[in-house]
A = this chain, B = another copy of it.
Amino acid sequence: MQTIKEVAKMAGVGLGTVSRVLNDSGYVKESTRQKVLAAVEALHYVPNDVARNLRHQSTRFVGLIIPTIWHPFFSKLAYFIEQELYLYDYKMLLCNSEQALDKELRYFEMLQKSQVAGIIMISYNDFPEPQSDLPIVTIDRIISPRFLHVSADNRHGGELAAEALVQRGCRKLLFLGSASPVPTEVDKRREGFVRKARELGVSCTVYEETVLLKQELSVIQNFLAQDIPFDGALTSSDLFAAALIKALGDKGQTCPDDFQVIGFDGIQDNPYFKPILATIRQPVEKMARRSVELLLDKINNQAAGEDTIIDIEFFAGETVKPIV
């Protein structure tokens, strides 16, 4: 491999001079600059960031720990995070934790050893306080006051859903979905929904189970076995909404005529597949960009911006009726 040494020798200059040319720092005569650049070109020299990082005692790596990239919500988030990091010349290390705490911890350690500049993390586990003071942003869940945090306004999302359903004639509301063993933003969706339902004077049932991703159907089956009546539902995610509609459809009930459903997240981004879910859309792009902004602020200034709650919106789709 070619190093700065070979470049220096070929150009007939000292090591420092090559470095100065490469980094545009300090004085260097134009003619020597040209000699050095010519040598760089001729030798196909590529700077070694490992050495540079060691000397600088820092890297431009950022770790992203998410449950799984194989889920449209997280993949969209990761897309925008990477895009934003790229603008600032940071590189993204992707870590799929499978929602398992031990994997999250192992990844965390791995990232620390790699001297990442910071970490963006989505964890729904009881993540322990780390020793280090590595800059960390959590999305969708407050883990520690020492971490920065970005979320959508989930409580408001719950309220919007309750309002939308009641406006459309529903009187027996249902919140259906999965709960985490620890407090999360999903709780706020439920809280906002239940509170608004009470405020509007309609009944509201909550059915939750603690399950991992992709377990939607089994939760739905358990719920249906209980024969709880409802005419409008908010689910904890879009996939639950779709699964509910599917399960009831198999029993001959149609949406939105027999029941109305609103999902949460907004993962459908093309209009080709049915049903087009009514949903509370998370502002994924804004969340991603804000997370990066907060993280880089912290990395560069130590004085970081504030935790951020980003507004959310209701999208009517086809699984609710028109307003009466």
Contacts and interface: CB of A to CB of B under 8 A. Distances in A.
A109 B272 contact: no
A197 to B, nearest CB: 26
Interface residues of A, number: 52
Given A69-B75, A82-B94, A94-B94, A113 B47 contact: yes
B242 A273 contact: yes
A115 B2 CA distance: 12
A25 interface: no
Contacts of A71: 75
Interface stretch (A29-37, A50-58, A171-179): A50-58
Contact of A79 (B70, B239, B242, B243): B70
A272 B242 contact: yes
Interface of A: 1, 44, 46-51, 53-54, 57, 59, 61, 68-72, 75-76, 78-79, 82-83, 86, 91-96, 109-110, 112-115, 131-132, 214, 216, 239, 242-243, 245-246, 270-275
5 contacts: A51-B54, A83-B96, A91-B93, A243-B270, A273-B273
